[in-house]
Amino acid sequence: MDFSALKKIIAGYNTFVVTSHIMPDGDSIGSVLAFTLALQRVGKNAIAVVKDDVPRKYAFLAGADDIKRDFDGKCDVIISLDCGDEERLGFENKLKTYAGIVVNIDHHKSNSLFGDINIIENQASSVGEIIYHIIKDMTSIDLDIAQCLYTSIITDTGSIRYSNSTPCCVRILAELIEKGVKPDFISRQVFERRSIESVNLIKLSLDTLELFDNNRIASISITKEIMEKSGAKEEDTDGIINYAREIEGVEVAILFKERGEKLVKVGFRSNEWVDVGKIAEDFGGGGHLRASGCTLKMPLDEARSQVLNVVKKYLAGEGAWME
Amino acid sequence: MDFSALKKIIAGYNTFVVTSHIMPDGDSIGSVLAFTLALQRVGKNAIAVVKDDVPRKYAFLAGADDIKRDFDGKCDVIISLDCGDEERLGFENKLKTYAGIVVNIDHHKSNSLFGDINIIENQASSVGEIIYHIIKDMTSIDLDIAQCLYTSIITDTGSIRYSNSTPCCVRILAELIEKGVKPDFISRQVFERRSIESVNLIKLSLDTLELFDNNRIASISITKEIMEKSGAKEEDTDGIINYAREIEGVEVAILFKERGEKLVKVGFRSNEWVDVGKIAEDFGGGGHLRASGCTLKMPLDEARSQVLNVVKKYLAGEGAWME
């Protein structure tokens, strides 16, 4: 990774805004805070800006309370982290309205390269991993920064359960633990906090679990009634599909979320061989081999029946026939 | 860690039995298989013996199919892994009946030192971590062995979510990934397989979730009826207590498992400050600061009421008064 252009910018300017995408996650918040803290440590006037609510579970991170929701001033440099395009940052105007220089640091292949400098490392597990490499030559990584970087990496690797858990990022985790990070403390904050409403949602959702096609398909349907009855938030539906996906023998898991009388969001996951990206495409959606989604403008019952028919055909090896 | 005595034994003898405790887990199966494979690689006649069912989720590990359930022959050396005392290995007779030399390798402090050689490393995250250090000087760690060791370490550290996730064991994980281990593949096998019966158990158990004392106490009660209705196995109750523990604001989580008309097993977990080891001791049980348990010979209702009263007193800071 070559950071020489970025280093010159850091050396040459004084006011920095570090920002990331709306609907922030552990990697975006962790890397924004780590980089902001590091810039402050080397004497820069740096603030963190995220134009959305910061999930409460990241409130324990140093600097989280100082994240600004709004920014319409001027600065020398805006640094965008973990964001594929400028729009998803949520700023009212083009970034160049606010800053002389735009730096774009990301680990997603599909980045629109909107910066004056673009550092796109798609081999990195997380932006936290890239920021680690930048910071370690800038200043010493203290416990505050270490906790932010650790949070970035474990959230984007699912606590090293995902395929992006490379030797490099795992060694960085080891080093951050050496700096004083308590893995159990961070994991409790990030992974092990549920609202009672989210537990209600799990319970009511599991009541709708159905198996088809010799248990190779499992579906869960979250109706509007279930959302209301549980009192859960939209973010609480994250992960519910895994209860279906993890059942032994299941190849395709489907989550139906009823959003209106004629509006259903559908999520797909597969375990070993079915390309659920293609299935979602059949319905005008998209995604990857193992995770995808689409939106259907029809009642829940109709969406369920149409989607199940198509998934059954894919499982019967008739997917190609569909095209 | 000093393995010189063990190395001499390996060099000087030919037939080895590698074994571990009944009710085997990922660390015991992973370390038994890794060590057995390594001994075979250096030309020894080594077999793995576990006197219990091997959970199906570990069947993907190399050598798992060759684990013997029974052994009543003779060998030069028996190596016990991850086991605090001889009885828990499940052999009919004393180990010395079967072998000239007994080697005892463990990472639990409370080990009865029943071996001719005892290697007890309580700083190690897992026995897999100790075995890694032994094997790396014996033979090259191939992918088969690497997968076994990886399974050991991630199961005993909860995928580096527990406090025993040290820099040393995390670096070993990085090295094993370098040897070809796929973190996502192992995690799917080990953490992400549920029977439909276990999902039923979650659903029925969550119906019994109750909160007390301003949501600082959460309890779940698994009745005999729930076990029968769900069709779940005893091992499926593992982890259910976390649904209670992870609810925001909860300090003490309690799991009641009805085992008979007058027999209740109680599990306790705490998050930050209550010493649930002490609470369990009040009821004749035991455990640690954050995880403990006891068995009560009374009906479920009575057990619930007695336990809740005591837990409330501890939360009110009156624990000391109890003693």
From chain B, pick out residues whose CB is under 8 angstroms from the CB of A214. none
What is the structure's pLDDT at A319? 55
What is the structure's pLDDT at A322? 41
Tokens of B28: 């015991």
Contact A203, A196 (CB under 8 A): no
DSSP B235-247: GGGTTHHHHHHTB
Tokens of A240: 């519910």
More confident residue, A160 or A1: A160
Contact B187, B160 (CB under 8 A): no
What is the structure's pLDDT at B124? 95
What is the structure's pLDDT at A170? 98
Q: Which residue from A158, A159, A194 is facing B247, i.e. has the nearest CB?
A: A194
User: How far apart (Å, rounded) are the C-alpha atoms in residues B279 and B319?
Assistant: 8
Contact B134, B6 (CB under 8 A): yes
Most B CBs within 10 Å: which of A125, A203, A241, as the mutation test of the B interface?
Answer: A203
From chain B, pick out residues whose CB is under 8 angstroms from the CB of A209. 199, 203
User: How far apart (Å, rounded) are the C-alpha atoms in residues A66 and A303?
Assistant: 44
Contact A222, A257 (CB under 8 A): yes
Burial of B155 (0-12, 13-18, 19+ CB in 10 A): buried
Closest residue in chain B to residue A167, using alpha carbons only:
B174
Three-state DSSP string of chain A: CCCHHHHHHHHHCCEEEEEECCCCCHHHHHHHHHHHHHHHHCCCEEEEECCCCCCHHHCCCCCHHHCECCCCCCEEEEEEECCCCHHHHCCCCCHHHCEEEEEEEECCCCCCCCCCEEEECCCCCCHHHHHHHHHCCCCCCCHHHHHHHHHHHHHHCCCCCCCCCCHHHHHHHHHHHHCCCCHHHHHHHHHCCECHHHHHHHHHHHCCCEEECCCCEEEEEECHHHHHHHCCCHHHHCCHHHHHHCECCCCEEEEEEEEECCEEEEEEEECCCCCHHHHHHHCCCEECCCEEEEEECCCHHHHHHHHHHHHHHHHCCCHHHHC
Contact A283, A276 (CB under 8 A): no
Residue A204 pLDDT > 50, yes or no?
yes
User: How far apart (Å, rounded) are the C-alpha atoms in residues A140 and A132?
Assistant: 11
The b/e string for B256-292 (b: 16+ C-beta within 10 A; e otherwise) is bbbbeeebbbbbbbbbeebbbbbbbbbbebebeebbb
d(CA A261, nearest CA chain B) in Å: 27
What is the structure's pLDDT at B318? 66
Are B192 and A242 an interchain contact pair (Cβ–Cβ within 8 Å)?
yes
- Which residues of B lie inside 8 Å of A (Cβ-Cβ)? 154, 157-163, 165-168, 170-171, 173-175, 177-178, 182-184, 187-188, 191-196, 199, 202-203, 206-207, 209, 211, 215, 242-243, 245-248, 271
Give chain A's domains with CATH numbers. 4-191 (3.90.1640.10), 196-322 (3.10.310.30)
**Strand duo A99-106 + A75-81: pairing:** parallel
What is the structure's pLDDT at B321? 44
**Beta-carbon neighbour count of residue A115 at 10 Å?**
20
Nearest by Cα to A250 from A233, A271, A265: A271
Q: What is the mean pLDDT of residues A43-48?
A: 98
**Beta-carbon neighbour count of residue A273 at 10 Å?**
11
Most A CBs within 10 Å: which of B141, B162, B184, as the mutation test of the A interface?
Answer: B184
* Average pLDDT of the residues of chain A: 94
**Beta-carbon neighbour count of residue B108 at 10 Å?**
14
CA dihedral sign, ordered A143, A189, B26, B174: negative
The type of residue at B66 is D
The residue whose two tokens read 């970025």 is A6
Tokens of A201: 């949602």
- Which residues of A lie inside 8 Å of B (Cβ-Cβ)? 154, 157-163, 165-168, 170-171, 173-175, 177-178, 182-184, 187-188, 191-196, 199, 202-203, 206-207, 209, 211, 215, 242-243, 245-248, 271
The residue whose two tokens read 């270490």 is A146
Contact A84, A34 (CB under 8 A): no
pLDDT in tens, chain B (323 residues): 889 999 999 999 999 999 999 989 999 999 999 999 999 999 999 999 999 999 889 999 999 999 999 999 999 999 999 999 999 999 999 999 999 999 999 998 789 999 999 999 999 999 999 999 999 999 999 999 999 999 999 999 999 998 899 999 999 999 999 999 999 999 999 998 889 999 999 999 999 999 999 999 999 999 999 999 999 998 899 889 999 999 999 999 999 999 999 999 999 999 889 999 999 999 999 878 888 899 999 999 999 999 999 999 999 986 544 43
**Beta-carbon neighbour count of residue A248 at 10 Å?**
13
CA dihedral sign, ordered B195, B201, B202, B203: positive
**Beta-carbon neighbour count of residue B163 at 10 Å?**
14
Kindly report the pTM of this predicted structure. 0.86
Residue A57 pLDDT > 60, yes or no?
yes
Q: Which residue from A168, A187, A206 is facing B202, i.e. has the nearest CB?
A: A206
The residue whose two tokens read 């594929």 is A84
What is the structure's pLDDT at A149? 98
From chain A, pick out residues whose CB is under 8 angstroms from the CB of B192. 242, 245-246
Nearest by Cα to A33 from A119, A114, A122, A143: A143
Q: What is the mean pLDDT of residues A295-301?
A: 98
| CA-based end-to-end distance of chain A | 41
d(CA A196, nearest CA chain B) in Å: 6
What is the structure's pLDDT at B192? 87
- Range with the lowest mean pLDDT among A137-141, A176-180, A233-237, A281-285? A233-237
Q: Where are the alpha helices (DSSP H) in B126-284?
A: 127-136, 143-156, 167-178, 183-191, 196-206, 224-230, 240-245, 276-282
d(CA A184, nearest CA chain B) in Å: 5
Q: How confident is the model at residue A272 (pLDDT cuts 50, 70, 90)?
A: confident
From chain A, pick out residues whose CB is under 8 angstroms from the CB of B165. 177, 183-184
